């Protein structure tokens, strides 16, 4: 059945006031009075949003959909992330990647997991490669992976400034970025090089040297974890002003760690007049979050969760930040960088990916590709191995 969503306080992500949406299949086909006029017609299921805030589904551009970890032995490998963990957090589009373990976990596994999430109703893509050089691929070539494999949109997360990286040379980074860029042109995909930033002494210098010494367009280079340290935030601002898209990680908040909380990081970026279209926030969901001492010894371990993305957005909205200033970092900005033209906004012709929020910004309903995954705080659609009975907070 077609679905009429009436009386939506629509943020697309700009504030567009009260509106009505008609969904057919996976797509928004009508808006406004034209949509409302069809209420009561055969084959249309009507749902009254009663003036609640309706936002685009969140686009999580960095998640370990097959699970991360492995830094503390095989027992520290994190399981893959279930469908419901994403949809409960309002995430309707996700990009999976490999991290430290790009040996046992593979690009092939990522592609299959992305396709599984697609079959379960989410929208999912992935990167080829991982922390190390040469990047692990499925076909033996970065360009072939991006050009020939539907789900692969770029390379990542390649690690720099981290003791776990393979310490790539400037020429290796330039070559990999070039492969990603050219493949993106050939396949009309993003072709980005998604760069993991660690706590190393070089900070973002490797990225700046690539910009200085090559003709690689700045938009190809996307550093993530820019809020890992306050100093990286300053460098990220410079990178964004030079044309890079930079990504904040919604780490679990812990006062004992040096990272800048994601909500604070985004607020600081916007207040300092960072380019508004070149910033995103991602969850690192399913990723292992280890903390090492100065000798490289592991002293604590945590796991990234998709709901950290939602919690960050809620914190910003509850602090009084206007929705139209913060929502792009969670929706249209990553969608535009990743060349996902039907994601990140709510308009005719866009995919019907949306989240309905209560007055306190708690999630009430989630629709992905035209299907209700959550209604009235209850999960309706489940992953193949999920158990019914979950509720949103």
Listed residue (42, 43, 45, 41) closest to 6, CA to CA = 45
Q: Is 347 helix (H, G, I), strand (E, B) or coil?
A: coil
CB–CB of 33/78 below 8 Å?
no
| Binding site as annotated, residues | 62, 64, 196, 225, 284
Structure token pair of residue 48: 């009254």
CB–CB of 15/324 below 8 Å?
yes
CA R_g for the chain: 20
Report whether the peptide linkage leading into residue 157 is cis, meaning its omega lies within 30 degrees of zero. yes
Read out DSSP for 44-82? Answer: EEEEE-TT-EEEEPEEEEEE-TT--B-BTBGGGBPPPPP
In the set 82, 284, 353, 365, the catalytic residue is 284
| Binding site as annotated, residues for Zn(2+) | 62, 64, 196, 225, 284
CB–CB of 164/100 below 8 Å?
yes
Q: How many helices (H) and strands (E) does the chain have?
A: 11, 19
**Pairing outcome for strands 15-24 and 2-11:** antiparallel
Give the 3-state secondary structure of 112-171. Answer: HHHHHHHHCCCEEEEEECCCCCCCCCCCCCHHHHHHHCCCEEEEEEEEECCCCCCCCCHH
Question: What DSSP state is assigned to residue 29?
Answer: E
Inter-CA distances, 362 with 90, 255, 358, Å: 10, 25, 5
Residues 6+ apart with CB under 8 A from 254: 302
Beta strands (DSSP E) in 270-380 are 279-282, 288-292, 298-303, 354-357, 363-368, 371-375, 378-379
234 given a catalytic annotation: no
Q: Is 266 helix (H, G, I), strand (E, B) or coil?
A: helix
Active site residues: 284
């Amino acid at each position: 059945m077609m679905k009429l969503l009436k009386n939506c306080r629509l943020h697309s992500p700009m504030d567009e006031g009260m509106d009505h949406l008609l969904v057919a299949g996976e797509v928004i086909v009508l808006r406004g009075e034209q949509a409302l006029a069809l209420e009561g017609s055969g084959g249309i299921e009507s749902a009254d949003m009663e003036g609640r805030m309706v936002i685009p589904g969140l686009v999580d551009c960095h998640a370990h959909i097959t699970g991360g970890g492995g830094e503390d032995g095989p027992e520290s490998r994190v399981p893959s992330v279930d469908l419901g963990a994403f949809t409960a957090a309002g995430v309707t589009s996700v990009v999976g990647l490999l991290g430290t373990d790009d040996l046992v976990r593979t690009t092939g596994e990522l592609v299959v997991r992305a396709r599984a999430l697609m079959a379960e109703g989410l929208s999912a893509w992935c990167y080829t490669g991982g922390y190390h050089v040469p990047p692990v691929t499925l076909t033996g070539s970065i360009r072939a992976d991006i050009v020939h494999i539907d789900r692969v949109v770029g390379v990542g997360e390649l690690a720099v400034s981290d003791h776990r990286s393979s310490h790539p040379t400037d020429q290796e980074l330039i070559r990999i970025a070039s492969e990603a860029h050219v493949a993106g042109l050939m396949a009309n995909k993003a072709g980005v090089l998604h760069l993991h930033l660690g706590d190393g002494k070089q900070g973002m210098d490797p990225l700046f040297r690539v910009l200085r010494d090559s003709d690689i367009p700045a938009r190809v280079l996307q550093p993530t974890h820019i809020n890992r340290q306050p100093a990286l935030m300053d460098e990220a601002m410079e990178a964004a002003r030079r044309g890079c898209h930079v990504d904040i990680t919604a780490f679990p908040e812990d006062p004992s760690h040096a990272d800048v909380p994601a909500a604070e990081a985004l607020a600081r970026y916007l207040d300092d007049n960072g380019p508004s279209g070149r910033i995103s926030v991602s969850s690192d969901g399913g990723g292992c979050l280890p903390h090492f001492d100065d000798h490289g010894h592991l002293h604590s371990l945590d796991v990234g969760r998709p709901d950290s993305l939602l919690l960050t957005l809620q914190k910003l909205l509850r602090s009084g930040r206007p929705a139209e200033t913060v929502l792009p970092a969670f929706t249209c900005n990553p969608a535009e960088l990743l060349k996902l033209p039907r994601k990140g906004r709510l308009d005719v012709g866009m995919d019907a990916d949306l989240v309905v929020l209560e007055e306190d910004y708690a999630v009430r309903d989630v629709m992905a590709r035209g299907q209700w995954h959550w209604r009235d705080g209850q999960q309706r659609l489940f992953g193949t191995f999920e158990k019914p009975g979950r509720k949103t907070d």
